Amino acid sequence: MKIVDKKKEIKRYFRQAKSIFIMAHRDLDLDALGSSLGMYFLLTRLHKNCYLIIDDKRHELGVAKVLQELEGCVQILTSDQVEEHLYLRQKRNLLLILDTNKTDLVQSASVLDLFSEDQIMIFDHHDIGDTSIEASLRIIDNEVSSTCEMITNLLESYKVTLDPYYATLVLAGMVLDTNNFTLKTNANTYYSAYYLALMGASSKKVQYLLKQDLKEYMERQTMITNVDILNEKIAISKGSPYTIYRKEDLAKTADSLLFFNNIELSFVIGKINDKDVYISGRSLGKYHVSNILEKLGGGGDQMGGACRIANSSISKAEQKLLQILKKEE
């Protein structure tokens, strides 16, 4: 569903709302944050009272940089502060969910209880699953590269321009989710990047936000060396059982594996805390990642996805994944 095709409905919701709350998924990345900020400044141009809901305590490097630079410029609430900021007439409140549609992935599931179904809108590029949030309007476009691309299309339809700094943040989300325009990229993706560049988005600043920690980069290279190839086209890489990895590092390793000859599908498995194992998956399109990882309680879309397996070891998680892959083949 293209976001511009629903502009009239979106406009009606925006017009009726007095206070609008924006919430993305846990463990914010630059697509979730960039799209949230793009939406935030669109709404402020429409003279709406707007808030971002962020509960995360730790942030990936690029997100941490942005939040530090934005301090005092954007109204940010934690989930336990939302209720006291609701507009007195309950029906005039609106909750926007960005870059996810799953109850178990949002910053705070408890926030959903403060809004009725007809007060929730979803903007996302991931497939719907068993834990998808019920909402009066769900705009799910799994053909776009990112939620940042969706919001850019909405900005253009409203003829709203962003300050160059904020346009850069939206562009950064697109660059992240396309792995520098190498994955899930089409003519509209390039046009959206061009439109942001017209606003003054800086590719140099994007690279600054995407800078990596050298130690983490070296750990990812170590993961690549511990890889098994299934049927000559599926790469499965495993982290050390003694190392705690960031989710984004597992995702970046999965992206990297797709650049090797004959590899159509990649999975990277690593521990994200003392008890839980995380699997990040990527595909060039022949395989549907979400269909595979949903069987393990995860989700995503055709090109990428992830899942968390609680109280598991890396080897046990790998065995579960292999059982599913053998059935797929």
**What was the pLDDT predicted at 212?**
67
pLDDT of residue 247: 85
Give the pLDDT of residue 22. Answer: 98
Of 14 and 210, the one with more pLDDT: 14
Domain positions in the chain are: 3-209, 214-328
Average pLDDT over residues 183-191: 93
pLDDT in the model for residue 76: 97
Determine the pLDDT at residue 115: 96
CATH of span 3-209: 3.90.1640.10
For range 284-290, the mean pLDDT: 90
Query: Looking at residues 183-198, what average pLDDT do you find?
Result: 95
Residue with tokens 């399109």: 285
- What residue type is assigned to position 69 of the chain? E
pLDDT value of position 249 = 85
pLDDT over 70 at 329, yes or no: no
d(CA 313, CA 209): 33
User: Average pLDDT, stretch 35-53?
Assistant: 97
Predicted confidence at residue 300, as pLDDT, reads 85
Give residue 184's pLDDT band: very low, low, confident or very high (50, 70, 90). Answer: confident
pLDDT per residue as tens digits for the range 193-243:
999 999 999 999 999 898 867 677 777 788 888 899 999 999 999 999 988
Q: What are 111-167's pLDDT values in tens digits?
A: 999 999 999 999 999 988 888 999 999 999 989 999 999 999 999 999 999 999 999
- Position 85 pLDDT exceeds 80: yes
pLDDT at 51: 98
pLDDT of residue 129: 83
In CATH, what is the architecture of 214-328? Roll (3.10)
Which positions ≥6 away from 4 have C-beta within 8 Å?
153, 154, 157
